[in-house]
Amino acid sequence: MAPKPLLDIFKTHIDDRSAVFVFPSAVPAHFWLRQLCEMYRKPLALERFIAWDEFKEHCLSLYEPDQKPANSLSRMLFASHILEENAQDARAGSPLFKELLPPEHASDYAPFISHVGQILPSLQTIIERTGTQTFTSDSPSHDPYFMDLRSLYHRYRDFLVSHGLYEPDWVRSPFSSQGKTWVLLFPDLADDWVAYAPELSQAPSVHIYTVQDIQIDESPGGAAAVPVQEPLLKMLNRRLLQFSSVREEIRYVANLLAYLVHNKLLGVVDIALSIPDLEHYGEALLLECRLRSLPVSIRQGKAITDQSGGRLFSHLQDCYQSRWSYRAIKNLLTDRALPWKDMKLIEQFLSFGLTYRCLSGYEISGRVVDVWEETFTRLLEQKIGTPYALINLKQFYRQLKRDIVDIVTANSFETLQAKLMYFTGNHFDRSRMSEETDRVYARAIEELGRLIETEKYLADCSTGRAFPLLLTHLKNTTYVHQSEDQGIAVYPYRVAAGIAPKLHIIM
Q: What is the pLDDT of residues 154-177, one digit of tens each?
A: 999 999 999 999 998 888 788 989
pLDDT value, residue 151: 94
pLDDT value, residue 138: 55
User: What region does 366 belong to: left with phi over 0, alpha with psi -120 to 50, or beta?
Assistant: left
pLDDT value, residue 262: 94
Is the confidence at residue 140, as pLDDT, over 60? no
> Other CB atoms closer than 10 Å to residue 126's CB: what's the count?
16
Is the confidence at residue 30, as pLDDT, over 70? yes
pLDDT value, residue 121: 92
Candidates 210, 172, 137; CA nearest to 64 is 172
Q: How far is CA 374 from CA 94, 349, 363, 380, 396, in A?
A: 42, 15, 13, 10, 15
Q: What is the CA radius of gyration of the chain?
A: 28
Determine the straight-line distance between the first and last CA of the chain, rounded to whole angstroms.
Answer: 31
In degrees rounded to 5, what are phi and psi of residue 215? -110, 115
Is the confidence at residue 228, as pLDDT, over 90? no
Does the reported pTM lie above 0.75?
yes
Q: What are the respective helix, strand and coil percentages of the chain, to the nearest 5? A: 55, 10, 35
**Residue 182 exposure: Cα atoms within 13 Å on the Cβ side:** 27
List pLDDT tens digits, range 32-80.
999 999 998 999 999 999 999 999 988 987 766 678 889 999 999 999 9
Mean pLDDT across the chain, nearest whole number?
90
Name the E strands within 295-449.
296-298, 302-303, 362-364, 367-369
